C-alpha cells in the first residue's frame, strides 16, 4: 500500500482518501481540495496501516472517504481505528466480488485473467463519465500491467466485512459500469445511502471530496 499527500497544510483535520484499483495520485493533484489535509491511499498490496495510524495521531479529527475497491480496504482500517470524523463509502461495497453485492466473480476473474494494455484502457473508459477525462487519465504514467494484476489479485482476496455500520453513509452512482447499480443497492439496502447521477468515477475538479458528506444537501438520502 502506498500513500501520498494531495494536500498538506497542517490542518486540524485529515481526510483519508482510500482510492480505487489502479489509481494514481498524479491525476488528482490539480483537483480543488477540501479544507482538511488529504492523504490518498492507493496501490494496495497489504492491509498494514501502521504508518497511516501514526500520521493520524497528529490530527484532532480523522475522516475517511473510500471509493470503489477502497471501500473494503477503508473498512478494514475502520475496524482497527475508532475515528471521530466522517466515514463515507462511494461506489463500492464490503463484498466487492460477489454476485449479489458487488462485481460478479466471473467478471472479476475475466478482468484479472485477461488484463492487458488494451483491456486496461477499456476499463478506464468505462469508469469515467466522458472520453476526455479518461484520455487525460491515460496520458499520465501508470503502473505496469503486472503490477496492476498483483494489486487486483490482492484486492480480490481481501476478506469481506459484514458490519455496514462502519460507514455512516454510502453514495451510489446510477450509471456505474463497474459495480452494478442494483448490487450496490442490495449491499447498502439497510444503511443510509444516497443515489447520485453519474459514472463509477463521480469526482470532478470543482468539488472533488467536498460534496460527499454525511450532512450534504446536494442529494436526497434514502434507507
Taking the model in full, what pTM does it have? 0.94
Residue 222 predicted with pLDDT over 80: no
Question: What is the band of 35 on the pLDDT scale with cuts at 50, 70, 90?
Answer: confident
Whole-number pLDDT of residue 218: 43
Grade residue 47 by pLDDT with cuts at 50, 70 and 90: very high
Which range is least confidently modeled, 30-39, 149-158, 169-178? 30-39
Distance CA 73, CA 45 (A): 11
CA 20 from chain centre, in angstroms, equals: 4
Write down the pLDDT at residue 28.
Answer: 95
Average pLDDT over the chain, rounded to whole?
A: 94
Q: What is the mean pLDDT of residues 200-209?
A: 94
Position 211 pLDDT exceeds 80: yes
Domains annotated for the chain, with CATH where assigned, are 2-222 (3.40.50.1820)
Helix (H) or strand (E) holding 169: strand 169-173
186-194 mean pLDDT = 96
Element spanning 132, H or E? helix 131-138
Average pLDDT over residues 144-157: 97
Amino acid at each position: 500500500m502506498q500513500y501520498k499527500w494531495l494536500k498538506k497544510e497542517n490542518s486540524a483535520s485529515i481526510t483519508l482518501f482510500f482510492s480505487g484499483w489502479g489509481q494514481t495520485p498524479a491525476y488528482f493533484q490539480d483537483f480543488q481540495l477540501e479544507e482538511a489535509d488529504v492523504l490518498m491511499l492507493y496501490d494496495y498490496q497489504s492491509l498494514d496501516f501502521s504508518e497511516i495510524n501514526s500520521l493520524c495521531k497528529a490530527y484532532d479529527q480523522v475522516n475517511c472517504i473510500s471509493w470503489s475497491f477502497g471501500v473494503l480496504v477503508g473498512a478494514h482500517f475502520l475496524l482497527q481505528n475508532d475515528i471521530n470524523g466522517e466515514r463515507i463509502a462511494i461506489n463500492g461495497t464490503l463484498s466487492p466480488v460477489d454476485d449479489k453485492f458487488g462485481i460478479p466473480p466471473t467478471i472479476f476473474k475475466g478482468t484479472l485473467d485477461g488484463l492487458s494494455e488494451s483491456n486496461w484502457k477499456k476499463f478506464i473508459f468505462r469508469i469515467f463519465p466522458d472520453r476526455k477525462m479518461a484520455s487525460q487519465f491515460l496520458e499520465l504514467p501508470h503502473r505496469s500491467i503486472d503490477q496492476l494484476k498483483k494489486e487486483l489479485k490482492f484486492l480480490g482476496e481481501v476478506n469481506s466485512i459484514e458490519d455496514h455500520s462502519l460507514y455512516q453513509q454510502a453514495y451510489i452512482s446510477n450509471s456505474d459500469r463497474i459495480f452494478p447499480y442494483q448490487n450496490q443497492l442490495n449491499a447498502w439496502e439497510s444503511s443510509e445511502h444516497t443515489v447520485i447521477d453519474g459514472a463509477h468515477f463521480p469526482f470532478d475538479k470543482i468539488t472533488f471530496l467536498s460534496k460527499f458528506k454525511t450532512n450534504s444537501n446536494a442529494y436526497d438520502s434514502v434507507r
